[in-house]
Structure 1
Amino acid sequence: MKNIFTYSTAVVLGLALVATPEADAQQFSKRKQYNSIGFSLNAMNYFGDLTPVTSFTSLRLGATRVGAGVSITRRFYPRLSGRFGLSYGRISGDDSFANDQDPDARFRNNRNMNFRNDVLEASAVAIIDLIENRNNYLKRPDFVPYVFAGVAGFYHNPQGLDSRTGNYVDLQPLRTEGQATAYGKTQFSIPFGGGIRYRINRNFDASLEIGWRKTFTDYLDDVGGKYADPSKLTTDASAYFGRGITKSLKDGTGTFNGFTNPGEARGDTGNKTDWYIVTGVTLNYILTPRIKNPKFR
């Protein structure tokens, strides 16, 4: 995971140096700049403590949820554009789908946690085209691969399904790991990724894009630390999601003795953080720039 982030960032920064605005400004006037608005249909997935296996590539297709987004993009230079976007989507995970081939799966299956989380994101990214266009929007290439990176803020609210009632419950207020203060619902992330853009006609482009979100929280799924002392789980809901949901406690078997003892690992060790992935198809409409006629004196 660390290598993926490091290498991707290095690629983006390297391409940004190739597309240095000062060098391009000499041959790319403001008359060639333009704006576009985009409407996206997205698929969201997540990687964290409740994925089927511990590998970064572990994605359960059944957990994929559909989202949507809108964006506005400003083309500044032959290779460089800036984009601001708003998007909404849902991520989810369930320990009951832990892969039997994974030696750790039986522990996660016994943990028996589940969650869903609606994510509302605002992002600002720099887009670097791998094929430049020094002309206006009418002469843009038909196919353009690109990479992007930037910053984002998002609001999330993990919920768990209470099998006793069939209802979803907000998990953050429960402090299921005995936290002194609840983790924040508003967080930051670093989005990066790539895609390919296709020219449909004079004013429309379509793009296919995949982007990773490096977050700074381990609680997209409400699981990130150790089992709490039962005395700190003061409500029925916090006691259930903090310990009682565990299969070995409900079944009374001795296979997992001490599984939920205070201080035992409930999530991944090593201060790992959760990620989410957005794959989307976007339809962009280019706002025809106003071209001023030269003034004659």
Structure 2
Amino acid sequence: MTPNKLLLLIFFFISGSQVVHAQEGTWELGVMGGVAGYMGDLNQNNPLQISGLSGGLYVKRNFNQYLGVRLNYTYGQIKADDSYSSNEQFRERNLRFKTMLNEFSGLIDFNFFNFNIGGGNRRFTPYLFTGAGLVIFKPTVKVDGERYRLDRLGTEGQENGYKNAVLTIPYGVGLRYNYKDTWSVFSEIGYRTPLTDYIDDVSGRYPVNPVFVGNDQNQVNLSDPSRYQIGQPGTQRGDFRKRDTYLFVSVGISFTFVSSKCYSF
């Protein structure tokens, strides 16, 4: 399924659900904070490696005790540095990056239990979520006190850099607890698969014409910052996977606006 078809499917699902359940649903507002992580060309094996903080908020429409749809905004920072790797080849490669993530997404939540707010009989429930979104990322590197936008420099020979706003697919699990009236707390972990391999500015091969920054006496090769210039043109710079992955681990609190009309079945 293409990204456009996936977005259309989610749009029609949300629209149809709102029409069918317009008289039964409740609205919910939530805020969250936590940490962010990344797995990609500079972290190839650890799916739980955390490297920065995250925060976000959402507005949600609960159609019944099991199903809801939310609009999410999440901000996070991720980074990685080959010089701290346990892999000797990575330390020699010496690549590094720091990226700010701004994600806007539409998510479908599915509660496993008959959740309390709005008529259910369980005060807690695990839940799953998935959806689609847009992530804006800006990979950078700091050299001699100055920070450079890597997506604009074409470190792998791209003439005009690459897109820094792409479709992303979120998915994850969480646990929600209703602790007082319409107030709930929750915790969730969610992975994202963006349709790009450049979250970390590394994907393809070392270019014929590398990118240098800095003054003439102290230039730094951003395409190949290794000590002995190991990156021969045309050789692989990162791994062979086509997508990077990032994740958010969050805890939060939400408030649900419950109408006087309860759910009926």
Q: TM-score range by the shorter chain?
A: 0.7 to 0.9
Match of 1:217 among 174, 196, 199: 196
State yes or no: 1:246 paired with 2:246. Answer: no
3-state SS of paired residue (2:163): coil
Specify the alignment match of 1:95 in structure 2. Answer: 82
3-state SS of paired residue (2:239): coil
AA of the residue aligned to 1:86: Y
CA deviations on 1:58-87 (whole Å, 9 max, x unpaired) are 62x4x2x11211101111133111011111
Match of 1:193 among 172, 195, 204: 172
> Compared with structure 1, are the counterparts of its residues 95 and 136 closer, same or farther at alpha carbon in structure 2 (3 Å cutoff)?
closer
What's the offset of the Cα at 1:112?
0.7
Give yes or no for contact 1:145–1:196 (8 Å, CA) kept in 2: yes
> Compared with structure 1, are the counterparts of its residues 179 and 77 closer, same or farther at alpha carbon in structure 2 (3 Å cutoff)?
same
3-state SS of paired residue (1:192): strand
Quote the Cα distance in structure 1 between the aligned partners of 2:127 and 2:23: 23
* TM-score (normalizing by structure 2): 0.84
Give yes or no for contact 1:176–1:239 (8 Å, CA) kept in 2: no
Specify the alignment match of 1:276 in structure 2. Answer: 246
Which structure's residues are more often strand, by fraction?
Answer: 2
What's the offset of the Cα at 1:291?
4.6
Match of 2:128 among 128, 143, 147: 147
Give yes or no for contact 1:187–1:215 (8 Å, CA) kept in 2: yes
Quote the Cα distance in structure 2 between the aligned partners of 1:116 and 1:46: 11
3-state SS of paired residue (2:83): helix
Quote the Cα distance in structure 2 between the aligned partners of 1:115 and 1:174: 13
Specify the alignment match of 1:263 in structure 2. Answer: 234
3-state SS of paired residue (1:262): coil
Count of aligned pairs: 241
1:151-230 aligned at under 5 Å gives the runs 151-162=132-143, 165-230=144-209
> Compared with structure 1, are the counterparts of its residues 291 and 69 closer, same or farther at alpha carbon in structure 2 (3 Å cutoff)?
same
Give yes or no for contact 1:35–1:289 (8 Å, CA) kept in 2: no
Specify the alignment match of 1:116 in structure 2. Answer: 98
Which segments of 5 or more consecutive residues in structure 2 lack a partner in the other structure? 1-12
State yes or no: 1:285 paired with 2:232. Answer: no
What's the offset of the Cα at 1:107?
1.6
Give yes or no for contact 1:33–1:136 (8 Å, CA) kept in 2: no
Quote the Cα distance in structure 2 between the aligned partners of 1:275 and 1:136: 34
Give yes or no for contact 1:229–1:262 (8 Å, CA) kept in 2: yes
Quote the Cα distance in structure 1 between the aligned partners of 2:80 and 2:155: 17
> What is the Cα-based RMSD across aligned positions, in Å?
2.3
Match of 2:68 among 69, 81, 90: 81
Specify the alignment match of 2:108 in structure 1. Answer: 126
Give yes or no for contact 1:44–1:278 (8 Å, CA) kept in 2: yes
Quote the Cα distance in structure 1 between the aligned partners of 2:205 and 2:196: 15
Quote the Cα distance in structure 1 between the aligned partners of 2:117 and 2:42: 48
What's the offset of the Cα at 1:154?
0.9
3-state SS of paired residue (1:41): strand
What's the offset of the Cα at 1:167?
2.5
CA deviations on 1:226-273 (whole Å, 9 max, x unpaired) are 11113x64x536962112x21224xxxxxxxxx21100111112x421
3-state SS of paired residue (1:224): coil
Of residues 198-207 and 73-82 in structure 1, the stretch that sits farther from structure 2 once superposed is 73-82
Give yes or no for contact 2:117–2:182 (8 Å, CA) kept in 1: no
Q: Percent identity, please.
A: 26
3-state SS of paired residue (2:88): helix
Specify the alignment match of 2:54 in structure 1. Answer: 67
1:11-26 aligned at under 5 Å gives the runs none
CA deviations on 1:118-142 (whole Å, 9 max, x unpaired) are 0001010111111134x76254521
Which segments of 5 or more consecutive residues in structure 1 lack a partner in the other structure? 1-15, 100-104, 250-258, 293-297
Give yes or no for contact 1:72–1:85 (8 Å, CA) kept in 2: yes
Which structure's residues are more often helix, by fraction?
Answer: 1
3-state SS of paired residue (2:128): strand
